[in-house]
């Protein structure tokens, strides 16, 4: 029997933060996962202030200071979900441990989408209509600190189609047959 991922206090995770660099498939996988589980969905991109979006669209990477209010907005969404006893999925890069620390709650499980660089480059080259240019991939990869073993996190190879990746994550979150 597969062991269900647990958050820090051994309670089943109720908020899944689907994380990774640009092009990893966070939004797509999070949407699939929320649909499969019937959980609430949010996309971290929607929480960026206009200045952050403009900065990234111009090809400039965000600083830690730029990300602080964005992370606070996401943390607020997580806290509201928890306060209302709802399950939720949110797509959020959460690249650094310090960023994850701002979002960490006993009910949160980080789902790290690990994708080979060549696949990330391919996906970003094909992406249309997103404010984040592929030229920022290098800065994202430099900033990336994959979750450590002491963090409540699930690492998923995300080279497959999003539906199958979401099914794998859903099984890990809910146990066999949605238990």
- Is the pLDDT assigned to residue 177 strictly greater than 90? no
Residues 127-147 pLDDT 10s = 655 455 555 677 778 888 999
**pTM, full prediction:** 0.83
Residues 85-124 pLDDT 10s = 999 999 999 999 999 999 999 999 999 998 887 877 786 7
Q: Which residue has the tokens 């391919």?
A: 122
Q: Which domains does the chain have, with CATH numbers?
A: 15-172 (3.40.50.300)
Residue 10's pLDDT is: 47
The rounded distance, in Å, linking the Cα atoms of 98 and 101 is 5
Share the mean pLDDT of the chain.
Answer: 83
- Is the pLDDT assigned to residue 12 strictly greater than 60? no
1-10, 142-151, 159-168: which is most confident? 142-151
What is the secondary structure of 101-151 as a DSSP string? HHH--TTEEEEEEE--HHHHHHHHHH--S-SS-GGGHHHHHHH--PPPTTS
In contact, 175 and 134? CB cutoff 8 Å: no
Residue of higher predicted confidence among 2 and 89:
89
Residues 32-69 pLDDT 10s = 999 999 999 999 989 988 888 888 777 787 888 998 99
Using alpha carbons, select from 44, 126, 41 the residue that is nearest to residue 86: 41
């Amino acid at each position: 029997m597969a062991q269900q991922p647990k958050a820090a206090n051994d309670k089943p995770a109720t908020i899944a933060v689907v994380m990774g660099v640009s092009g990893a498939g966070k939004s797509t996988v999070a949407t699939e996962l929320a649909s499969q589980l019937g959980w609430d969905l949010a996309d971290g991109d929607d929480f960026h202030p206009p200045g952050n979006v403009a900065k990234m669209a111009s090809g400039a990477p965000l600083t830690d200071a730029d990300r602080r209010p964005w992370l606070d907005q996401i943390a607020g969404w997580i806290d509201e979900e928890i306060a209302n006893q709802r399950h939720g999925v949110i797509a959020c890069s959460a690249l650094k441990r310090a960023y994850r620390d701002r979002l960490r709650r006993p009910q949160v499980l980080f789902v790290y989408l690990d994708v080979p660089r060549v696949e990330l480059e391919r996906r970003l080259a094909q992406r249309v209509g997103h404010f984040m240019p592929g030229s920022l991939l290098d800065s994202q990869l430099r900033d990336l600190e994959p979750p450590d073993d002491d963090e409540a996190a699930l690492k998923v190879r995300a080279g497959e189609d999003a539906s199958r990746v979401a099914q794998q994550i859903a099984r890990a979150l809910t146990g066999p047959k949605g238990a």
